[in-house]
Amino acid sequence: MEIPKVIDIVVKNDLCIGCGICIQVCPSKALGIKWNEYGFLIPEEVGPCDSDGACISVCPFNPTPKKEVQTENELAELFLNDTSESDPQIGKYNGLYAGYSPEFRQNSSSGGIATYVFSELLERGIVNHILSVKESDNPDFQYDYAVSSSKEDLLKASKTRYYPVSLATALSKIDELEGTVALVGVACFIKGIRLAQINTPSLKGKITFLVGIICGGVKSRFFAEYLAEKAGVPYNQYIKPQFRIKDVDSSASDYSFGCKNVNNLSDYELKMRTVGDMWGTGMFKANACDFCDDVTTELADISVGDAWLAPYIEDGRGTNVVVTRSILADNIINEGIQSGKLKIDILTRDRFLASQKGSFNHRHTGLRIRINEAKKKKQLVPPKRFEREKISFDFAIVQKIRMKTRKMSLKIWNNSPNAILFDEKMRKHLLILNKATLLYRYKKAIMDRLKKK
């Protein structure tokens, strides 16, 4: 029987997220990486393939995985053996927290907890290197994964990047590094690393700690191009995009985008609230993200996200939510609290779930509709854990419109990379989505009130 290849059943099925892990594990080195027409990184065939299946075995969106690694649940049983709690929405864990690092908060996109954890790992000699995202020297990429081996290097990578990156190049050089490595990534990247550690046991000994970023979806590079144009820089003349410039005198959600014009190096900024909801609409998001049900990066040693929850959201300096999933991770957090290096509150399960309510609603509750729509079109989808959730007719309509809005945003920008034209062409799609969403919320509010009586 012919072994399926990642190009055939993932890339051609629009399920690729661009992590690049398949490129590194391919024994025949038959894969390279390229930009596709919609601004995402994807693998491409650059040589003859021996079809041994290595590429598909590490893909986080593999539609036909082996039973023992079918979902995050099975993988968690293999990697997270020292947790005290288990929750169907959060995954396996030890502690739930909200807080910040006074030392790293100012230079981070949120509360600085991820940078603090990495700093502690380096200072304690637990790892020798950090793989995280920094500005790239390659003119084809704004950002890429790079190695940090000191606290000074680490600070250059302490920002959120809503821009496509790949692990392909970084992983190819990992064996050249002396000692062990910690790595940061969104849920799908972390899952890919876990799958690679199963297939390449030496990688488990090399990458010994994983920091997961709780994300709202991977954006196309079109997202940065659009924001640059809105800020006043032509889409093909911007450099150094910054996606989370804080306003310490406002709320955590009132952040700005910034970039430089490559011609005059002048700075340009744009308040994100002026461009509307770029996350709830799904604009510029990868299709694969609509088939991800891992909200909290369940396979990492520690998961870090934004505390979209009162009172933390009111603080423009930024606050993280934290999920610890290994004893080491929990010790680092608790020792930070005891030493005063961290300002942390313990969260209840309900408070934590509330902090990521929108993502749980979309990725868990709404997943059934997206899977059904894909199957109607005879498209492959990976096995999922939340495909039988009960949903209302109105919410199903919102999900279908959101899927179309996401797709149209990429098509329109690809054809017309101009912010003014894009806004005009997207207006009707966003208006329909907004009306459907308001109707759904109105009816839901009425039903919720009736249930309380």
Q: What is the pLDDT of residue 183?
A: 97
The residues pairing with 304 across neighbouring beta strands, listed in sequence order, are 213, 322
CB 113 within 8 A of CB 356: no
Neighbours of 232 (CB within 10 A): 14
Neighbours of 343 (CB within 10 A): 15
Q: How far apart are the first and last CA of the chain?
A: 60
CA dihedral 349, 354, 357, 363 (to 10 degrees): -10
CB 316 within 8 A of CB 246: yes
pLDDT string in tens for the chain (453-residue length)? 567 899 999 999 999 999 999 999 999 899 999 999 999 999 999 998 877 889 999 999 999 999 999 999 999 999 999 999 999 999 999 999 999 999 999 999 999 999 999 999 999 999 999 999 999 888 789 999 999 999 888 887 767 789 999 999 999 889 899 999 999 999 999 999 999 999 888 899 999 999 999 999 999 999 999 999 999 999 999 999 999 999 999 999 999 999 999 998 999 999 999 999 999 999 999 999 999 999 999 999 999 999 999 999 999 999 999 999 999 999 999 999 999 999 999 999 999 999 999 999 999 999 999 999 999 999 999 999 998 888 999 999 999 999 999 999 999 999 999 999 999 999 999 999 999 999 999 988 888 888 776
Residue 304 to residue 263: CA distance in whole angstroms: 37
Q: What is the pLDDT of residue 291?
A: 97
For 413, what's the count of Cα atoms within 13 Å in the CB-facing half-sphere?
Answer: 24
Interstrand relation of 302-306 and 207-213 (parallel, antiparallel or unpaired)? parallel
228-232 long-range contacts (CB < 8 A, ≥24 apart) are 228/259, 228/268, 229/417, 229/418, 229/419, 230/257, 230/270, 230/274, 230/275, 230/419, 231/257, 231/258, 231/259, 231/268, 231/269, 231/270, 232/268
CA dihedral 314, 320, 323, 326 (to 10 degrees): -160
How many residues in the chain?
A: 453
Residue 232 to residue 169: CA distance in whole angstroms: 33
- SS3 string of the chain? CCCCCHHHHHHCCCCCCCCCHHHHHCCCCCEEEEECCCCCEEEEECCCCCCCCHHHHCCCCCCCCCHHHCCHHHHHHHHCCCCCEEECCCEEECEEEEEECCCCCCCCCCCCHHHHHHHHHHHCCCCCEEEEEEECCCCCCCEEEEEECCHHHHHCCCCCCCCCCCCHHHHHCHHHCCCCEEEEEEHHHHHHHHHHHHHCHHHHHHEEEEEEECCCCCECHHHHHHHHHHHCCCCCCEEEEEEEECCCCCCCCCCEEEEEECCCCCEEEEEHHHHCCCCCCCCCECHHHHHCCCCCCCCCCEEEEECCCCCHHHCCCCCEEEEECCHHHHHHHHHHHHHCCCEEEECCHHHHHHHCHHHHHHHHHCHHHHHHHHHHCCCCCCCCCCCCCCCCHHHHHHHHHHHHHHHHHHHHHHHCCCHHHHHHHHHHHHHHHHHHHHHHHHHHHHHHHHHHC
Q: What is the pLDDT of residue 1?
A: 52
CB 257 within 8 A of CB 231: yes
Residue 363 to residue 329: CA distance in whole angstroms: 26
pTM of the full structure: 0.96
Residue 226 to residue 206: CA distance in whole angstroms: 39
Q: What is the pLDDT of residue 405?
A: 98
